[in-house]
Amino acid sequence: MSPSESVVVVGAGLAGLAAAVELSSRGIPVTVLEQHRRGGGRAYSFTDRTTGDTVDNGQHALIAGCTATMRYLDLISTRRFLHTQRSPSLTFHHPALGLRRLRIPDLPSPLHLAGGILSTDLFSLADRLRLLRLGWALARLRDDDPFLSGASVAEWLRRHGQSAETIRTLWEPLAIAIMNERTEKASALLFARCLRRAFLGRTGDSALVLPSVGLSELFVTPACALISKHGGRIILGARAAGTILREGRVTGVRLEDGAELPASVVILAVPAWSIGRVLPEEMPRRAALLKAAELPVSPIVSVHLWYTTDFMHEEAIGIVGRTIQWVFNRRKIEEKGGQGGHITCVISAAHDLIGEPSRIILAAASDDLRAVFGKAGGDPIHSVVIREKRGTVSPIPGAERDRPDQITGIPNLFIAGDWTSTGLPGTIEGAVWSGKRCADLVQARQLHLIPSLS
């Protein structure tokens, strides 16, 4: 790309940063516009004034098989801040059985999954055999299965003979964490894809990966430094009002203050609900792309709790049959440690709680922690409730047809975001993958590898 050409990325969330980092690392400088005074989008952290601890806007967990995210972290040199399980396992608290673990042994795929299912005491023998049959069906899964594409997770699980107890104990905590939606509403196709990636690849791919630093330190600040180092710039507080289209090509971005920023390539990396504001008014496929803005959203609530003692021995626990689905021990995960206990509780698909006052949410979290940890999980000494009303686009069956490809039909305009067509629900991995694909498309355009883009 000649020095006179410029790439503008609108949005400094993870999708936009991923695109900018990829291009910067390939010697293509980028200008990133972000309407807020910080980057990261829905993945950021801040310092709690009372405790001095770093607080994420929501606890984000990855698996080792998130290849696009791992590549991104390698490029910005922060992969060292990830805490990866040595041996893949999931810990659950069952209301009748207490703490139980599902360990994945170091065996060739798919024997590792079978070994983990057969060795756990979380389920009856009959349910373990049903799980094995589902695992076999998962290995033979076809994306073009008409039932799968239109079914909910709950319908798919019932079709494969999963008992109500297995669904409650295993599938609901997993599905709601991965999909940020209830099993009755979430897409079976997307969930099955995620399961296949996590449990039917290499044994280590299913290992839980947790950041030992705040999300801004992990994903955002080093990315901005790399972009600047390679001749790019990040402009915060710059709200894009539209993309300029002339003679079928994008020529720049119009800012809310009326200024115009020339561009030879534009990548729109804004949330689905904001895409209408920045799409060119005259573009041929505008109406089709705007369908994504109408997709339903699913909220997430995170509750940070501080205690005088660190009573939680595990890093992460899935909670069965309660309001909270997952609990994380920040003191065990973070490298710097700290005084007392710092617990993060996650309530995904929090449709019933998102509008409630903080005292109601705190009461529900405290009740759940007392049920798991007894008196030790009693009243916290400090708390912070964080609401993401539009946490992710809801991955309902059929929504895939309205999720747009990164190619827009305009040869030098691309779209990135976890809500675009990534083959995944609204995850960090999907956001980063979409950003990388946009970077690949920009470079392909530069090298004239794609005739429709040249």
DSSP 383-413: EEEEEEEEEEE---TTGGGGSPPSB-SSTTE
Q: Give the number of other CB atoms < 10 A from CB of residue 235.
A: 14
Pairwise CA distance, residues 396 & 185, whole Å: 6
Mean pLDDT, the chain, as a whole number?
Answer: 91
pLDDT in tens, 373-385: 998 877 899 999 9
The CATH number of 86-206, from 1.10.3720.10, 1.10.405.10, 3.30.1330.10, 3.40.50.1580, is 1.10.405.10
Q: Element (H or E) spanning 209, and its range?
A: strand 208-211
Pairwise CA distance, residues 121 & 108, whole Å: 22
Pairwise CA distance, residues 130 & 31, whole Å: 53
Give the whole-number percent of the chain exceeding pLDDT 90: 74
Residue 328 tokens, joined: 């994380």
pLDDT of residue 66: 93
Which fold would CATH assign to domain 7-45+215-295+396-453?
A: FAD/NAD(P)-binding domain (3.50.50)
Non-local CB neighbours of 4 within 8 Å, separated by 6+ positions: none
Please check whether residue 380 is in contact with residue 232, taking contact to mean a CB–CB distance below 8 angstroms.
no
Domain positions in the chain are: 7-45+215-295+396-453, 86-206, 297-393
**Residue 6: helix, strand or coil by DSSP?**
coil
Nearest of 423, 426, 343, 336 to residue 388 by alpha carbon: 426
Across 9-13, 139-143, 201-205, the highest mean pLDDT is recorded for 9-13
pLDDT in tens, 309-363: 999 999 999 999 999 999 999 999 986 667 899 999 999 999 999 999 999 999 9
Q: Same fold for the domain at 7-45+215-295+396-453 and the one at 297-393?
A: no
pLDDT of residue 411: 93
Please check whether residue 181 is in contact with residue 222, taking contact to mean a CB–CB distance below 8 angstroms.
no
Return the residue matching tokens 């709690």.
48
Torsion, CA 227, CA 230, CA 235, CA 239, rounded to 10: -70
Please check whether residue 389 is in contact with residue 299, taking contact to mean a CB–CB distance below 8 angstroms.
yes
Pairwise CA distance, residues 307 & 340, whole Å: 6
pLDDT of residue 36: 95
Which fold would CATH assign to domain 297-393?
A: Polyamine Oxidase; Chain A, domain 2 (3.90.660)
Question: DSSP characters for 163-183?
Answer: -HHHIIIIIHHHHHHHHSS-T
Please check whether residue 330 is in contact with residue 380, taking contact to mean a CB–CB distance below 8 angstroms.
no
Enumerate the H helices of 76-124 as residue ranges.
111-119
Length, in residues, of the chain = 454
DSSP 448: T
Non-local CB neighbours of 215 within 8 Å, separated by 6+ positions: 40, 43, 44, 45, 56, 57, 60
Pairwise CA distance, residues 266 & 286, whole Å: 16
pLDDT in tens, 107-165: 777 777 788 888 888 899 999 999 999 988 888 888 888 898 899 999 999 999 999 99
pLDDT of residue 337: 66
DSSP 120: -
